[in-house]
Chains A and B, each alone.
Chain A
Amino acid sequence: MIDDRQILSRLYLFRDVSPSALLQLCSIAPPIQYEAGAEVFRQGDPADSALLVVEGRLLASVQGSGGEKIVGDSKAGEIVGETALFARDMRRGATVMAAEASRCLVVNRKLLNKTDGNEALAAIERHLLGTMARRIRKTNQTMQMVWKEMTPAEPTESMDAPSLLQRLGSLFKGRL
């Protein structure tokens, strides 16, 4: 039978991490098993931890005026709810369910305080930095796209402000 350490060692983010560091991580925070359909987070609940999907798949949904919408799909190696780790008084922005039988490592402040010098945790921190940076860049690229599409080709000293409708029409063309 494959143990937790072996499952973690398959993840790309732990490629250079020693078996002993993974073993220590598993002993402090053994991955939690979720059955298919189990609720992991509920939208609006207090948030103080992130989940690293070790096996399986999680689906995030939000309750909006038009009903429930699937807004995220996270597979092994991806992190969910990471902003809760380094900010206070956060709430879950979405409800997260296990789309299939899944196993997740719960990363919370308690774990961060307990794993001094653990290289697996350092790998998780680097992974978190990369994840956050990608999200920031992606949003920013979308903003840059608005400028690219809404401003004249030749540089000018002043610009007339394009209307909100123009900007958003351009930004979300074909996506709504």
Chain B
Amino acid sequence: MTPQQRREWASALLKGHDFPGQDVSAIEQVLERCERRIYKKGAEICKESDPGEALFFLVDGCIEVRKAFPGTVPRELAVLNAPAMFGHMSLVDGSKRSATCVAGEVTTLLVLEKSSYEFLMEDVTDVGTNFRRLMLTSLTRQLLAGNTRLRQALGGFEMNVKGEVISATEQLTEDLLNDELLEMAGILEGWTVETSGFSEIVLVEDEDMKRTRESEQNKR
């Protein structure tokens, strides 16, 4: 990864996030700690129920997110398109992977290992501070989006500040479908919320990436 690429990705990552003390060079230093990995189409990135050992910045390609709800075969929960961030929840709370992620095409990820995550959590310099606040902004969005969606679906209920139902206020309507519930689960797990702010990213290709992309295009 070139310094120019890091700069572009760091700027794009911060663009969708608003927090005090924001500093592009600090996020560049976070990305500097990442390992760049290129996955073939169909390659498994992480598996549901496995322990979380890394978080991922998706910078090229796409990820198919699959989840096995109890009593069902695995279903597609979402498709993440670059740029995006995923896999952070397992590191924040030590929980297992909530879904399986597979490369939907040739895909480039920047991988931040758990040891680097733990270092950044303790780091009191601008680098650690920016990383923690980036995570906090993402989780805030996840929490707010999940609660809003849940409130819409459970329109007949009053909920407390922690999102727990406290009373029924009106007669229910028969309009909650499986897909809506799936969507809510996706939001809460961070799969279907714009958590990265990468939307206006301009990807700068290096030679490796260019060759891989051209080879894929030729195959098609």
**Using a CB–CB distance below 8 Å, which chain A residues touch chain B?**
60, 62, 64-66, 69, 71-72, 82-83, 85-88, 93-94, 109, 112-113, 116-119, 122, 125-126, 128-130, 132-140, 143-144, 146-148, 151-157, 159, 161, 163-165, 167-168, 172, 175-176
B168: which A residues are within 8 A, CB to CB?
Answer: 176
A159: which B residues are within 8 A, CB to CB?
Answer: 71-72, 178
Given contacts A140-B146, A144-B70, 5 further A-B contacts (CB under 8 A): A69-B160, A118-B124, A129-B135, A134-B93, A155-B73
Judge whether B203 is part of the interface by a CB distance below 8 angstroms. no
B144: which A residues are within 8 A, CB to CB?
Answer: 83, 87
B81-121 residues at the A interface, CB under 8 angstroms: 89, 92-93, 95, 98, 121
Q: Which of A60, A144, A148 has the most CB of B within 10 A?
A: A144
B163 touches A139 (CB 8 A): yes
User: Shortest distance in angstroms between A121's beta carbon and chain B's nearest beta carbon?
Assistant: 8
The chain B residue sitting closest to A132, CB to CB, is B139
Query: Which of B1-9, B15-23, B35-43 lies at the binding interface?
Result: B15-23
Bitwise, B126-167 to A at CB < 8 A (1) or not (0) is: 101100110111011111101100100010011011111111
A86: which B residues are within 8 A, CB to CB?
Answer: 18-19, 133, 136-137, 139-140
B72: which A residues are within 8 A, CB to CB?
Answer: 147, 151, 155-156, 159
The chain A residue sitting closest to B121, CB to CB, is A126
A64 touches B163 (CB 8 A): no
Judge whether B122 is part of the interface by a CB distance below 8 angstroms. yes
Judge whether B217 is part of the interface by a CB distance below 8 angstroms. no
Q: How far is the CA of A128 from the CA of B147 in the complex (A)?
A: 17
